[in-house]
Amino acid sequence: MTNVAGHRGLLLVVSSPSGAGKTTLCNRLRAAFPRLGFSVSYTTRKPRKGEIDGVHYHFVDKATFAEMAAADEFAEYACVHGNNYGTSAKLVNAALSAGRDLLFDIDFQGGRHLKRKFADDIILVFILPPSLVELERRLRSRATDVEEVIARRLRVAREELRHYDEYDYVIVNDNLDRAFDALRAVYVSALHRRARQRVAAQAVLSGQQVLLIGTMGEGYRVAPAASFSVEPRDGGQEER
């Protein structure tokens, strides 16, 4: 049994203003689909309490980040809230070639750059808060930021919200379960687009057997079709 040749991975970008719930939604999606990888970004900001280097982010200093950018090691990078964030180009290209799907928790600048480079392999989802009033309430309820930081995040949120029309799908997170169901539906639908299933269809037509991987057919492999015979029904009459 071998991998289906030509089956490329999918890049799923999820963006939102800080406090709209994208990280929680992304974590739930990864739990539901263990085969969905996560793109760990490089950043120049300091780790927050509980964050682990190499798991949540790759934490580097500004000089190292600048050297990586100059060496064209990033598929995309941007400055957000005064800190630099970037995605490894090597990671993205390797995942696509190997047929692995990657989830990105990045802002609209990163999503825009990735779409320019990987237009045929990407789906972009924007998470909206139900209102700016609710967004402010969520930011304050975290109790992790000082007033100046909260005010800056709200200013940036207004700018980020203006870019919703650059995305393929927009989900309002007024209820976490409902928003997750919508995000899950987007991902499952993307997996079954005709372009992604073309190789599987050709395998079936050539007499091979397609074996789905995952509860929602997140991937597939092919093997020689099992031999079988079909007995006629109703005295030999064929059915459609």
Q: Which CATH class is domain 8-191?
A: alpha beta
Q: What is the pLDDT of residues 31-67, one digit of tens each?
A: 999 889 999 999 999 998 889 999 999 999 999 999 9
Domain ranges of the chain: 8-191
Taking the whole predicted model, whether its pTM rises above 0.75 is answered as yes
**Contact yes or no for 39/74 (Cβ under 8 A):** no
Q: What contacts 89, CB < 8 A, 6 or more positions away?
A: 72, 73, 74, 75
**Contact yes or no for 53/64 (Cβ under 8 A):** no
Nearest-angstrom CA–CA distance, 155 and 74: 27
- Identity of the highest mean pLDDT range in 7-16, 129-138, 175-184: 175-184
Closest by CA to 73, choosing from 60, 62, 87, is 87
Q: What contacts 235, CB < 8 A, 6 or more positions away?
A: none
Residue 127: strand pairing partners: 171
At position 134, the amino acid (one-letter code) is E
Q: Beta strand pairing status for 83-88 and 42-43?
A: antiparallel
In this prediction, residue 204 carries a pLDDT of 83
Provide the pLDDT confidence category of residue 218 given band limits of 50, 70 and 90: low
Q: What contacts 177, CB < 8 A, 6 or more positions away?
A: none
